[in-house]
Amino acid sequence: MEVYFNDMNLAEKNTRLIKEKAYELGFQFIGIAKAERMDEEARRLEEWLNQGRHGKMQYMENHFEKRIDPCKLVEGAKTVVSLLYNYHNDQVQNDPEAPKISQYAYGKDYHFVLKHKLKELLAYIREIIGDIQGRCFVDSAPVLERDWAKRSGNGWIGKNTLLIHPRAGSYFFLAELIIDLELEVDGPMKDYCGRCTRCIDACPTKAISPEGYFMDGSKCISYLTIELKDQIPESFSGKMDNWMFGCDICQEVCPWNRFAKRHNEPMFQPHPDLLKMENREWTELTKDVFNEIFRKSAVKRTKYEGLKRNIQFLSEKKI
C-alpha cells in the first residue's frame, strides 16, 4: 500500500510541474486524460465518414486506428495532455465590404508557433523526470483533438461541434502531448449548450444539423474556402457571407464567447496591412502582395490561386 501512495504522490507532483510549465509557455488550459482506445468516438467517426460528411477530405479516411488509439501513435502511451492556446482577436477589417478572413489566420501559422512550445514542454518533461517517450501534435496528425480536449476536462463539444470552455469560449487552438508517463487525470465537464440554437440558426449553408452536435463538413464555409480544391459548387451562391478564408459565424453568435479575451501572443498579430485592405485591393490581389501579407500565415494552405478563386466566387455571387 505504501508503494501505491508513493506512486500516486509522484504522479500528482509530475502533473503539477507539467501544468505549471505549460501555463508558463502561454497555454491557457491544460487537461489530462488516460491514453486509451476511443470506442464511442470511433463509432461516431465511422458514421460521419460513411455518410460522406467529410466531402473531398480523403485524408480523413486514412489511419483510422491511429485516430482512435493513441498507443498506435506512441508505443506504451499512458497519458494524453490536452492544451488550449488562445487566438482571439477582436480587431476587424476596416472595410466592411472586404472579403473576410477567419481571425485564427490573422497572424503567423499556429502550427509552427504551438509546435515550438510543445517541443519545449516535452524537453522540460524529459529534463526533470527522465527518458519519457512522447510526441507533439498540432492539427497535423490523425488525432481527435476535440475529443481528447473533452475527455481531459478542457471544455465540452458544443452544438457547433467546436470545443467550448465556460470561462473563455471557443477561440482556441488545440494541441496534444501523447506520452508514456502516468499522470493524474482530469474528468470531463458538463455540456452547457442547453436549449440554445444560435449557431444552428446562424449558419448560412446549414452545415450544422438541426439538432446540433453534427457538422456536415462538405457544407461548411471553412471547408469550401480552404479544404476544397475544386470550384465551389454553384449551390453555395449567395450563402458564403463574404468569407474568403475560413468562417467565424458559429463562434461570433455563441453566447459563451462573451467571455473570450484578446490573446497576448505577438506572433498572432496580423500583418500591418491585412486589416486595412479594401475590397478593391482584394479583388485585384497580386501574387507578390499575397506572398507578403501571408508570408508565414496559415492562409498559405489555399495558395494564391485558391484565395483568388474564393474572392472571385464572392464577387460574382454577391446578391
Name the residue among 216, 246, 251, 239 with its Cα closest to residue 306.
246
Dihedral in degrees, nearest 10, Cα atoms 119, 122, 126, 129: 160
Question: What does the block give as the cell for 44?
Answer: 461516431
45/142 Cα distance (integer angstroms): 12
Q: What's phi and psi for 305, nearest 5 deg?
A: -65, -35
Name the residue among 172, 174, 168, 146 with its Cα closest to residue 158.
146
Sort strands 243-245 and 100-101 into parallel, antiparallel or unpaired. Answer: parallel
β-sheet bridge partners, residue 156: 164
Could you give the C-alpha distances from 182 to 5, 17, 66, 110, 132, in angstroms and in order? 14, 13, 20, 28, 10
Query: How many whole angstroms from its chain centre is CA 138?
Result: 9
* 139 a catalytic residue: yes
Could you give the C-alpha distances from 180 to 8, 15, 30, 114, 130, in angstroms and in order? 16, 13, 17, 21, 11
- Catalytic one of 95, 139, 186, 191: 139
172-179 sheet: strands from edge to edge: 29-34, 79-86, 172-179, 134-137
Active centre residues (catalytic): 139
